[in-house]
């Protein structure tokens, strides 16, 4: 191997390593390129399949036309024989034989082309499935990459913190929570013992006493009016 050949191999190695590093650092671009390439091949394959399907449809139309002509000729031959038109009958018989041979030929070709068309369509569908599968794989790989990068970032962040700082931060949080709990306990303990609370209780009790006094007074008045009516009614009876 010559000097320049060795230099070329070295450069190829460097380029290969560089490309590999670029691909690893940008997997999304690699997947997009692969997907685009498969989509392009899918379009080319679809054109090829359409050509096979076109040929199948053309042969099918030829077969249908030949069978229709054969059916007409088979009806015409007996009529020509009955009419004594032997020359016409001979021509019709020749056409019948030609159409029979053509139908056999077209049928054979149609069977082959039809099988090819079905295989091509199956391949096209499978290729489309591979593209969709690659798209799903792309999403899964990118999600794994993002998750791994997040975990690495978190780990690096934790590694950068000292143990003393972690413990102090936890103690601060615990102390803060305990202070909040103490405030809540104090509020519960002094509930109902403040001056405002006591005044409110007295006002409520006073209102109940006043209302009860009014009720008693009302009952007395109603009893007095009832007694007066009964006394008056008794006086009227004695007068009578």
Residue 104 DSSP one-character state: H
pLDDT band at residue 105, thresholds of 50, 70 and 90? very high
pLDDT band at residue 185 under the 50/70/90 scheme: low
The top-scoring range by mean pLDDT among 6-15, 86-95, 140-149, 187-196 is: 86-95
Would you call 192 helix, strand, or coil by DSSP?
Answer: coil
> What's the confidence (pLDDT) of residue 22?
47
Is residue 39 within 8 Å of 135, Cβ to Cβ? no
pLDDT band at 91 (very low <50, low <70, confident <90, very high): very high
Is a pLDDT exceeding 90 seen at residue 108? yes
pLDDT score, position 188: 60
Residue 75 pLDDT exceeds 80? yes
Question: Do the Cβ atoms of 130 and 38 come closer than 8 Å?
Answer: yes
Contact present, 59 and 109 (Cβ < 8 Å): yes
Q: Which of 52, 64, 45 is nearest to 118 (CA)?
A: 52
- Per-residue pLDDT tens over the stretch 32-63: 888 888 888 888 888 888 888 899 899 999 99
pTM for this entry: 0.44
Say if residue 41 is in the same domain as residue 123.
yes
Q: Please indicate, yes or no, whether residues 153 and 196 belong to a single structural domain of this protein.
A: no
Residue 211 in domain: yes
Is position 14 within any domain?
yes
| Alpha carbons 44 and 51: distance in angstroms, whole number | 11
User: pLDDT by residue (tens digit) across 149-158?
Assistant: 788 887 877 6
**Residue 205 domain-assigned (yes or no):** yes
State whether 144 and 62 are in the same domain. Answer: yes
Q: Is residue 174 part of a domain?
A: no
- Rounded Cα–Cα distance for residues 35 and 130 (Å): 10
Structure tokens at 207: 């209102």
What is the pLDDT averaged over residues 54-77? 92
Structure tokens at 237: 């009876």
Domain co-membership, 224 together with 129: no
Q: 18 is written with which tokens?
A: 């560089």
Count of domains forming the chain:
2
What percent of the chain has pLDDT above 70?
74
Cα–Cα distances (Å) from 207 to 193, 197, 198, 219, in that order, read 20, 15, 14, 18
Query: By residue range, what is the domain housing residue 200?
Result: 192-239
Do 154 and 197 share a domain, yes or no?
no
Residue 65 has pLDDT above 80, yes or no: yes
Q: What is the CATH number of the domain that holds 20?
A: 1.10.287.1700
Query: How open is the CA angle 131-112-70, to the nearest 5 degrees?
Result: 135
Query: Does residue 98 sit within a domain?
Result: yes
Quote the pLDDT of residue 27: 77
Tokens 């009806």, located at residue:
75
> What number is the average pLDDT over the span 202-222?
79
CB atoms closer than 10 angstroms to residue 39? 13
Q: What is the mean pLDDT of residues 154-183?
A: 72
Judged by average pLDDT, the poorest of 14-23, 165-174, 195-204 is 14-23
């Amino acid at each position: 191997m010559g000097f320049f050949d060795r230099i070329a191999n070295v450069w190829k190695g460097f380029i290969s390593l560089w490309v590999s590093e670029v691909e690893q650092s940008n997997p999304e671009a690699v997947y997009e390129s692969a997907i685009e390439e498969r989509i392009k091949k899918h379009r080319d394959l679809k054109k090829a399949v359409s050509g096979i399907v076109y040929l199948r449809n053309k042969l099918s139309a030829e077969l249908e036309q030949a069978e229709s002509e054969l059916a007409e000729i088979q009806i015409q031959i007996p009529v020509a024989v009955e009419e004594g038109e032997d020359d016409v009958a001979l021509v019709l018989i020749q056409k019948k034989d030609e159409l029979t041979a053509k139908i056999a030929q077209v049928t054979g070709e149609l069977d082959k082309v039809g099988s090819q068309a079905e295989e091509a369509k199956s391949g096209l569908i499978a290729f489309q499935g591979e593209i969709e599968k690659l798209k799903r794989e792309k999403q899964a790989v990118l999600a794994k990459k993002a998750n791994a990068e997040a975990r690495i970032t978190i780990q690096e962040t934790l590694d950068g913190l000292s143990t003393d700082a972690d413990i102090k931060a936890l103690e601060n949080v615990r102390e803060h929570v305990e202070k909040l709990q103490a405030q809540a306990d104090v509020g519960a303990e002094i509930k109902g013992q403040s001056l405002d609370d006591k005044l409110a209780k007295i006002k409520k009790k006073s209102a109940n006493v006043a209302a009860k006094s009014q009720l008693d007074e009302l009952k007395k008045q109603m009893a007095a009016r009832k007694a007066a009516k009964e006394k008056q009614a008794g006086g009227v009876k004695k007068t009578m």
